[in-house]
Amino acid sequence: MNTNACLYQDLTKVLVTREEIAEAVRALGRQITQDYAGKEPVLICILKGASVFFTDLIREIDLPITTEFMAISSYGGGTKSSGIVKIVKDLDRDISGRDVLIVEDIVDSGRTLAHLSQVLATRKAASINIATLLDKPARRVVPLEVKYHCFNIPDAFVVGYGLDYDEKYRNLPDIGVLAPKIYGGES
Ligand code: 5GP
């Protein structure tokens, strides 16, 4: 039985189930553990969308990691990227000399992470890589190297497992396509 049943009414379909997510996050945690063996990476959670993914992912990594949180605004309340990226909350600690893994919920145009990678590159990290839960490769407008992704998805506006529309739906355990009537889009 679904918890949050009232929120499911606003979806046209469930795209990725909680079971599929759990399996992919476990596999990604194993991969990161292997790739960063002998290192102590700092994982940066991009608030708020990546928060649910982040808390699950870090518990699947068997390394002495540290965590940081950063908030970036790029979308406002709509469903299309504005291209305007602003750091709303910066890191608490210096990352110079550290192996950095940016953890994001979804890469769409790529603008947000291209900008963020540039900003972090000026801070002399030893390495910077990106791990995203979802990727929409068909929507990319700026080149971006995404080292890790759990799922490639088609061009649709999705919510759940941390992803919101107007701050809602983050608590859906699955990822679903939001019905266009909710945001006044085309069906
Ligand atoms: P980009 O800069 O790559 O175009 O956009 C990345 C950001 O846009 C993500 O971090 C996320 O906040 C938002 N975004 C892009 N596509 C979606 C989507 O399908 N659903 C939700 N909820 N947010 C999205």
Kindly state the tokens that stand for 36.
């960063």
State the distance from the centre of ligand 1 to the C-alpha of 158, rounded, in angstroms.
9
Edge-to-edge strand ranges of the sheet holding 66-73:
86-89, 66-73, 42-47, 99-107, 127-135, 148-152
Q: How far apart are CA 58 and CA 68, in angstroms?
A: 12
Read off the pLDDT of each residue in 25-49 and give the average, rounded to a whole number. 98
Cβ–ligand 1 distance for 135 under 6 Å, the answer no
Q: What is the pLDDT of residues 65-99, one digit of tens each?
A: 999 999 988 655 555 655 567 889 999 999 999 99
| Length of the chain in terms of residues written | 187
Look at residue 70 in the predicted model and tell me its pLDDT.
97
Any catalytic annotation for residue 164?
A: no
Look at residue 4 in the predicted model and tell me its pLDDT.
75
Cβ–ligand 1 distance for 82 under 6 Å, the answer no
Atom number of ligand 1 nearest to Cα 169: 22
Q: What is the pLDDT of residues 116-145, one digit of tens each?
A: 998 899 999 999 999 999 999 999 999 999
Half-sphere exposure of 153 (CA within 13 A, CB side): 23
Look at residue 92 in the predicted model and tell me its pLDDT.
96
Look at residue 95 in the predicted model and tell me its pLDDT.
97
State the distance from the centre of ligand 1 to the C-alpha of 75, rounded, in angstroms.
7
Look at residue 2 in the predicted model and tell me its pLDDT.
64
Q: What is the pLDDT of residues 150-185, one digit of tens each?
A: 999 999 999 999 999 999 999 999 999 999 999 887
Question: Which of the residues 99, 108, 135, 164 is marked catalytic?
Answer: 108
Look at residue 134 in the predicted model and tell me its pLDDT.
98
Look at residue 154 in the predicted model and tell me its pLDDT.
95
At 30, is the secondary structure helix, strand, or coil?
helix
Q: Is the pTM of this model over 0.85?
A: yes
Look at residue 1 in the predicted model and tell me its pLDDT.
52
Residues 16-43 as b/e (b if ≥16 CB within 10 A, e otherwise) read beeeebeebbeebbeebeeebeeeebbb
Cα distance from N-terminal residue to C-terminal residue, the chain? 28
Residue with CA closest to ligand 1 atom 17: 157
Q: Which secondary structure element, helix H or strand E, spans residue 66, and what is its range?
A: strand 66-73
Cβ–ligand 1 distance for 133 under 6 Å, the answer no
Look at residue 18 in the predicted model and tell me its pLDDT.
98
State how far the alpha carbon of 57 is from the alpha carbons of 22, 67, 103, 108, 150, in Å. Answer: 9, 12, 9, 21, 11
